[in-house]
Structure 1
């Protein structure tokens, strides 16, 4: 009886230890083929309305993981394992995807393309004490009131002002704005453009909204055409953009059509055809202007990687940002000397890196300190660098 009792107690103790280990939020004991690993979550849309842009960020993160597969923590080398989830460009699905990453016990999260899904998941990451580093989620609400969310891109107030400055500098006096109802990125960026353009003395002659998955924009565009604007600012997804562009030109609208960073995607050119020539957009990076040695190395290496993945070899800015977000995560992990989320969050506040998109450090809100945007157009079916611009 005594032997049985000892065996029972031993089994109970083992079970208790196993439960405690399973419930622990720390992944420090995780191993893969004998190697110590740390998990980094990739929270991106690879399907849905923003699936194309999300995949571009994922490719940048995967390439970063390929070139920087390990990190030193307390003198020991850990293999970095990416745990990818698809938030499907949907706010409800974003919550499910975020909860999956929490259950996977990731130490850091990267993403997401699309401010709306980033905002939807933000509190889940904060409650779990897992820091998130956005690549291109530009809406101010992503980091506001959430000290576990950071980002490596500039913000929409800056981007909206930059595009208003560009419009004003190129003689635009009247502008029309088209935004997507219920989309945080689209409505926010449209609003910031409006504020900046009117401050510069411009007039907003028309403001139009459209529904998600809308395909016919002719009624909206007919209203805009009657107002004869010099520029149409239409921040929208890569799904809606070619439809707006093509239908505007079919109606005989000759105004400049402009938007923000989401339009730097080759599928827009492919789907809009010749109508895409002359569009203008702001973005975060230009491969013809490497900011430093890291950028030069990334440009040559990532082009080879894209070729291997059977992708277009033109480097999207969001891929560069995805790469930079990964580098920031590694620097914070190494600085913290820990896989603990709170320790990594604290380290992120002081992180400085020379990334592909330039020098990156964070302000008190977790936003990257950036003051320059690249303006591009489309000419002969290709994106072409026009100028760099800052906020006046």
Structure 2
């Protein structure tokens, strides 16, 4: 932003204050693709509560950009991704998407990692008719905001159902407790889907405890859960909440192997800070670095060479979201956001690091679910489950 004239700041301010920015500074029918490059916007939580998720996604995206540009780009033009930090805040997500569309004239958007922020950014993207792909936001409402919003991950209704089926059919458990954040779209949505499927399967939910994201003391909830004598505890929370939950659960006498979670667990800090307490726990996920698929292993090899560590599921999804977008840009019948949107919608059997991806009529990804177990303070591949 340094060096911009004052009137540019005024225009940007007016755009932000308008009703979600109905395309300020963008002429109808004009293509935002520059003559010599494609500009793509990415808004991520590069600071704030979900920083690790945002940075992992950024690294996966950067690897995809490096790879596509090494092959000559898309239609002979290099791709440039402009990253913006929304600070893990939905309002900032709205602001950053507006900036990327109005100021930077991006042809498409990638983001966000959290459902609440993807929904906020998606509303702006859809209003401005710029296609957006979220790598990892699983709440079903995200893509319901309009025809320009897509995802490359499975949805919480599918993930919640598979979590319940896994506990019932694979673990052979019947009594289960549920622990979740009531003020988080991801956590509460996944808990509700799990409970609905648990009822259909005949699982007995013996305890249900909810908390606010700002809470850090879970001892009371965990003691109440323990007194209900569950055989398994479903905790669809983010990794930053699961660390203190795991530590306090151990102190309360609840084994880590009792816990089953969702994809929000996959962050290195979970096994680094609570790997011992979480030994034996399982969670549904999109990817595991040791899953035995050739494309997955090729991605892992490239990622390790560049970043000197194994990729998380968020990194793999960031890579897949970017590569699927670039593939759609190459297939699009024009360089406009509308043409790219149509090409994304037509994606069938795209081969990614996380598996084969087909975009369905609801703009969601039809793909398998990976089961990951925590063993020896590491995420280890356990199984791949079809969602059909």
Task: Name the TM-score, length of structure 1 as normaliser.
Answer: 0.87
Aligned counterparts, 1:223-372, within 5 A = 223-254=224-255, 256-292=258-294, 294-307=295-308, 313-352=309-348, 353-370=350-367, 372=368
- Tell me whether 1:221 sits opposite 2:222 in the alignment: yes
Partner SS state of residue 296, structure 1: helix
Q: Which has the larger radius of gyration?
A: 1
Q: TM-score, normalised by structure 2?
A: 0.88
Indicate conservation of the 8 Å contact 2:42/2:111, yes or no.
Answer: yes
2: CA distance, partners of 1:150 / 1:38:
19
1:96 to 2:95 alignment: yes
Structure 1 CA distance, aligned partners of 2:61 and 2:292?
Answer: 19
**Greater shift in the superposed pair: 64-73 or 199-208:** 64-73
Checking the alignment, whether the CA contact within 8 Å between 1:159 and 1:260 is kept in structure 2 is yes
Unaligned runs of 5+ in 1: 1-20, 308-312
Cα distance change on mapping 1:228 and 1:328 into 2, 3 Å? same
Aligned pairs for 1:1-392 within 5 A: 23-24=26-27, 26=30, 30=34, 36-69=36-69, 70-73=72-75, 77-103=76-102, 104-169=104-169, 170-254=171-255, 256-292=258-294, 294-307=295-308, 313-352=309-348, 353-370=350-367, 372-391=368-387
Which deviates more from structure 2 when the two are superposed, residues 270-279 or residues 221-230?
270-279
Name the count of aligned residue pairs.
358
Q: CA deviation at 1:141?
A: 0.4
Relative distance call for 1:203 and 1:89 in structure 2 (3 A) is same
Residue 383 of structure 1 and its aligned partner are, at CA, apart by 1.3
Distance, in Å, in 2 between the alignment partners of 1:339 and 1:155 is: 29
Q: Do 1:283 and 1:375's aligned partners in 2 also have CA atoms closer than 8 Å?
A: yes
Query: How big is the alpha-carbon RMSD for the aligned residues of Structure 1 and Structure 2?
Result: 1.8
Query: What are the ranges of 5 or more consecutive residues in structure 2 without an aligned counterpart?
Result: 1-23
Report the CA distance between 1:47 and its aligned residue: 1.3
> Once the two structures are superposed, what CA deviation does each residue of 1:144-203 show, in whole Å capped at 9, x if it has no partner?
141101111111111111111111121211111111122111001111111112211111
Residue 359 to residue 100, structure 1, CA distance change in 2 (3 Å): same
What's the CA shift string for 1:59-108, capped at 9, x where partnerless? 100110111125333xxx21111111112221111111111111211111
CA distance in 2, matches of 1:136, 1:23: 29
TM-superposed deviation, 1:295: 3.1
Q: Determine if contact 2:122/2:142 at 8 Å carries over to the other structure.
A: yes
Native 8 Å contact 2:33 2:107 kept in 1: no
